[in-house]
Structure 1
Amino acid sequence: MGFPKRSIPQTLSVLLLAWVLIHCQTPIEPEEEEKKEPMTKPDTVKLEVKFEQLGCPSECSCTAEGAVDCAGVDLTEFPAKLSDSTRQLSLQNNKIEEITVEHLSHLHQLETLNLQNNWLTTDGLEDEGFEMLEQLAYLYLANNQLTAAPKVLPPSLISADFAANQLTRIFPHTFGQKPKLRSVYLHNNKLTDVGLPDHMFNASDSLEILTMSSNFLQVVPSNLPSSLYRLHLKVSPSSNNKLEKIPEGAFDNLPNLRELYLQNNHLTNEGMDNETFSRLSSLECLDLSNNNLSVVPKGLPRNLMLLHLEKNFIRSIPGDALISVRNLEYLLLHNNKLRSRSIHPAAFQGLKKLHTLHMYNNLLERVPRGLPRRAKTLMLLHNSISEVGRNDLALYTLTELNLSYNKLTNAKLHRDAFRKLRVLETLDLSGNALHAMPLGLPRSLHLLEIKNNQLTSIPDGTLTGMDKLHKLVLSHNQLKLNSAYQGAWMELTALTTLDLSGNQLTYIPTDLPESLEYIYLQSNRISSVPASAFEGTPNIKGIFLRFNRLSVESVDESSFSHLSNLQVLDFGTGNTDIPLKGDEINGKKIKDEQET
């Protein structure tokens, strides 16, 4: 049973995930796009004082430090009788529809106001109310029903969150003239190009984070502050309003920008020029995935470390397209239209730091030439690769190689194809047309998968020397008991997991290694379990035998008596009169596979 033709690889590079978490905020759902500055939660164990002393509303909890928590108590009106010394006010998750000047006029010490997830409208907010909060640093108004932003916010503001409203307009003094402003969240609104003032952040020269994803913008906003280091301008994939063009010089004044997210738009190579990104001298992460690019863009900045170009229509990589990005570490080109002959042999030349290359779900007919010599992860699955030559994989530092779901046959897989992969730990050849396990596999392997092929043979010596192999997956092939040479499994002295499910075995293999912990034998033709079946595997924890030809009489219960570590014995369905009598063996319940 093979995976769907366009399935995503099961194993993504751990290095890629770690780097993204450290260096680039991975683009996620718009409503969670950025982590907001945390509000201090009132400590109810600490110094809780009488309501009369602080002027604490009965529905809320208050602390002597000036924190008032009224979150999620079904308030329909702004709480009355708040103390003048209130510094942090939590009103999120209520049903408040209106806030007047009178409500706020005495809160001169208020620093944090959280109004997320209420029923506030623009008509229900009086502009002067926020303006008089001279100490206000953090304002959270996400998930309300505002159609226009407040005209004036106090200059003390550090962070403002207006995400997930219905904003169509921003005013010059909404975010302008805020010298301390560092982050603004405007994603998931209805902002258009005409709804933004020309100098939206005038004299707000400390702004670092701006998210404007999933709006109705068609052009990159102009006059962005030079202090920005993270800019989100992506849209949701289903949106009909997408960026089509990046105006000339749009990013020229952003020397500090480190992360730029432009995914899910309608950007083309014609909609930008070779200088579009060239002046972003600090840029490390550029996401142009799911656009309409036909070729890898030129003029990329030197310090770029991650370039995400997934889901475009890229058909070629010119020899000079990546010549400037000497610090590139991650290049993600999956789900495009690349053919091997359209990748220039010098395309990756000079990329000495490039260690992760994803090119799966393309139209590659063979392994591309000139691959980065220091690559550690190479994902070539779901292409049309039909051959691997002797020198195609001259990658001495490669640790993970995925060639699954291509068109490989033994005849066109050179027996020395893997000879230079001396530190390779993970190899996936699943979903090809191999009829025998390939010779010359790296002895450094920890994980080997060759499922969903046509294997009928494991030739003599194929597994010799693989003393680091922990997991071997050979499921859904045509292996029989005599398909493997004598003693093949015993050579795998470090093996803990062996998957032989979905083959044509009639007996349990007799030469299993002592290190084995899990063996998967379901969906074979096994008709008996003799007393000696597992005598050489004292460490085994899981045995899976469902969908075979077993019956109570053909299973010798003594075959499990010495297995003190056995946790799962799965006969499941598909056998005759199984599970065993009493449903227990060695005092352990015979478990269904779903119970593991």
Structure 2
Amino acid sequence: MWPSLLLLLLLPGPPPVAGLEDAAFPHLGESLQPLPRACPLRCSCPRVDTVDCDGLDLRVFPDNITRAAQHLSLQNNQLQELPYNELSRLSGLRTLNLHNNLISSEGLPDEAFESLTQLQHLCVAHNKNNLISKVPRGALSRQTQLRELYLQHNQLTDSGLDATTFSKLHSLEYLDLSHNQLTTVPAGLPRTLAILHLGRNRIRQVEAARLHGARGLRYLLLQHNQLGSSGLPAGALRPLRGLHTLHLYGNGLDRVPPALPRRLRALVLPHNHVAALGARDLVATPGLTELNLAYNRLASARVHHRAFRRLRALRSLDLAGNQLTRLPMGLPTGLRTLQLQRNQLRMLEPEPLAGLDQLRELSLAHNRLRVGDIGPGTWHELQALQMLDLSHNELSFVPPDLPEALEELHLEGNRIGHVGPEAFLSTPRLRALFLRANRLHMTSIAAEAFLGLPNLRVVDTAGNPEQVLIRLPPTTPRGPRAGGP
């Protein structure tokens, strides 16, 4: 079971059975009332093992916490330090949430967590004024059962961590060090680690030696760092043979990193400087199911016609926000989703879309397409297409011969001034049609345009020069109505 982001883990329990003692012992009911449990002032204790002191503006660590506590939440307070004498009493804690306090490195004594050997989830993230700059040496040496550790939104530097900081955490699965000031991947990562979040740091290069210990890593998040052209040299990720997902968006990479792990399934690389895709750039990752190269600098002339030839498992391809003037060739035939919005497409031809008979969603919004630029037969093989987005182009009328399976059609923000009676004859399954912000007038849509569309439920014509009269199919309970709000 993969760990989820844990901000608060409070385990609900069954409510007490009211009146049980009275029913069993009618004469002794009053004497059998349970004694009230000790609970810190203003906190709540829904169970004997759970203490919730969230958001109480506490400046001092609360006393009177039961030794039986397993789950303690102190998030959203103003604690500045962790008293060793108080924590040492709570040796049974499994969850400790200190998110969003004022704890500094000075307020985190070396032995702070020494007695918490049962701890499984620890959150010391997002302390106001980002005060934690180091983890004391040995502070986590006895937390061998810790599964999730949250240290994001602090001021951790390379010198604030050493090779032993995490090395004793033999059960650790999730480590969040995002939003800190690290320039390298920490050393001493445990083999059990499945998710490592290093986003929003200052990492310039990833070294293979730092990842040798984390051979079980499945998800590596390196978004918004300072990785440049040499930030991920060949072999840097070779130790991570089981890596499933790699997030690299918001860096300065100018090409797809070489020699990626062969079992990689998701490569998320938007908002970089990738300007070309060569014939061999993606051959090392034949198992990719998701490839996101949105908002890079790809131009059609620099995307090789065989760039995608090995990606037979690819289901989602995002090329939005690039500089493409035509559809890429050689697209994998198993694609389900293709994002090409915000490019500079001026023409659509049937050849690049040939064989995409499993494609369900196609976005071509915010391009420069005109109806005359869409070649005959372009939609012919898109037999499974359910959503087509042609919004914000230069279309003057509804393109003909759209796919039969289409259910959702976006045409808003074009130049459409007339919808004829045969506009939707090829799309009998249409459910939602968006025509807002075009050039439609009150009588621009033919009365017969929606005949034969029994599933049509949404027709959006707002934002046109005049309010447009919409006549839904006869099977619809309601009669004529005005489109748009």
CA 241–139 in structure 1, closer or farther in 2 if over 3 Å, else same: farther
Residues 152-171 of structure 1: pairs in structure 2 closer than 5 A: 158-170=49-61
1:338 to 214, 221, 227: 227
2:360 alignment partner in structure 1:
470
| Alpha-carbon shift at residue 548 of structure 1 (Å) | 2.2
Question: For 1:498 and 1:190, how far apart are their aligned partners in 2?
Answer: 51
Alpha-carbon deviation of 1:23?
3.2
Correspondent of 2:2 among 23, 32, 45:
23
Whether contact under 8 Å (2:231, 2:253) holds in the other structure is no
- Residue 86 of structure 1 is aligned with which of 27, 33, 47? 33
Aligned counterpart in structure 2 of residue 319 of structure 1, from 179, 204, 208: 208
Verify: 1:423 aligned to 2:309, yes or no: no
Q: Deviations over 1:508-555 (max 9, x none)?
A: 111111111111112212232222211121111122222223334443
Contact 2:9 2:95 survives alignment (8 Å) = no
2:210 is paired with a residue whose SS is coil
**Alpha-carbon shift at residue 417 of structure 1 (Å):** 1.1
Q: CA deviation at 1:115?
A: 7.0
SS of 2:351 mapped into structure 1: coil
User: Of 76, 91, 102, which aligns to 1:188?
Assistant: 76
* DSSP 3-state at the match of 2:220: strand
- Could you say if the C-alpha distance between residues 490 and 54 of structure 1 is closer, same or farther in structure 2, counting changes exceeding 3 Å? farther
For the residue of structure 2 that corresponds to 1:23, the secondary structure is: coil
Name the residue aligned to 1:561.
Answer: 451
Q: Does 1:211 align with 2:97?
A: yes
Is residue 365 from structure 1 mapped to residue 251 from structure 2 by the alignment?
no
SS at the partner of 2:469? coil
Matched residue type, 1:291: N
Tell me which residue corresponds to 1:240.
129
Partner of 2:347: 457
CA distance in 2, matches of 1:48, 1:524: 73
Residues of 1 paired with 2:168 and 2:145: CA distance?
10
Identity of aligned residues (%): 37
d(CA) in 2 for partners of 1:568 and 1:526?
18
Q: Deviations over 1:44-86 (max 9, x none)?
A: xx88989xx999xxxxxxxx8xxxxxxxxxxxxxxxxxx5533
Instruction: Kindly state the Cα deviation for residue 201 of structure 1 after the two structures are TM-superposed.
Output: 1.6
Q: How many residue pairs end up in the alignment?
A: 474
Query: Is contact 2:191-2:216 (8 Å) kept?
Result: yes
Gaps of 5+ in 2: none
CA change 1:48–1:113 in 2 (3 A) is: farther
Q: How large is the RMSD of aligned CA atoms in angstroms?
A: 2.8
Q: Secondary structure at the match of 1:340?
A: coil
In the superposition, relative to structure 1, how do residues 232 and 505 fare at CA in structure 2: closer, same or farther (>3 Å)?
same
Query: Following the alignment from structure 1 to structure 2, what is the Cα–Cα distance between the partners of residues 353 and 443?
Result: 26
Cα-to-partner distance string for 1:385-404 (whole Å, 9 max, x where unaligned): 11122111122111111111
Give the match for residue 399 of structure 2. Answer: 509
Distance 2:100 2:466 in 1: 57
Residue 170 to residue 367, structure 1, CA distance change in 2 (3 Å) = same
Query: Residue type of the partner of 1:34?
Result: L
Alpha-carbon contact 1:242-1:264 (below 8 Å) kept: no
Query: 2:239 is matched with which residue: 333, 338, 350?
Result: 350
Q: Aligned AA for 1:197?
A: Y
* Distance in 2, Cα, partners of 1:169 & 1:530: 73
Give CA deviations for 1:480-502 in whole Å, capped at 9, x if unaligned: 11222211112100111111111
SS at match of 1:322: helix
- Cα pair distance change 1:116/1:421, threshold 3 Å: farther
Q: State the 1:117 CA deviation.
A: 6.8
Q: Is the 8 A contact 1:570 1:591 kept in 2?
A: no
Counterpart of 2:425 in structure 1 is: 535
Question: Quick one: which of 35, 60, 84 aligns to 1:197?
Answer: 84
CA 1:548/1:281 → structure 2, altered by over 3 Å: closer, same or farther?
Answer: same
Q: Distance in 2 between matches of 1:114 and 1:249?
A: 30
Aligned with 1:405 (options 295, 308, 318): 295
Q: In the alignment, which residue of structure 2 is the partner of 1:227?
A: 118
Larger Rg: 1
Secondary structure of the residue aligned to 1:498 is strand
- Which residue matches 1:396? 286
Amino acid aligned to 1:160: V
What residue is the counterpart of 1:384 in the other structure? 273
Q: 1:301 to 1:49 in 2, by over 3 A?
A: same
Aligned counterparts of 1:158 and 1:48: Cα–Cα separation in 2: 23
Distance 1:54 1:523, change over 3 A: farther
Aligned 8 A contact 1:170 1:200 in 2: no
Structure 1 residue 290 displacement after superposition: 0.7
Secondary structure of the corresponding residue to residue 449 of structure 2: helix
For 1:257, give the aligned amino acid: L
2:437 equivalent to 1:547: yes
- Cα distance in 2 between the residues matched to 1:463 and 1:175: 65
- The alpha-carbon distance between structure 1 residues 216 and 564, as it changes in their structure 2 partners (threshold 3 A), is closer
Secondary structure, counterpart of 1:546 in structure 2: coil
- Is the contact made by 1:389 and 1:412 (CA closer than 8 Å) also made in structure 2? yes
Q: 2:169 aligns with which of 264, 275, 280?
A: 280
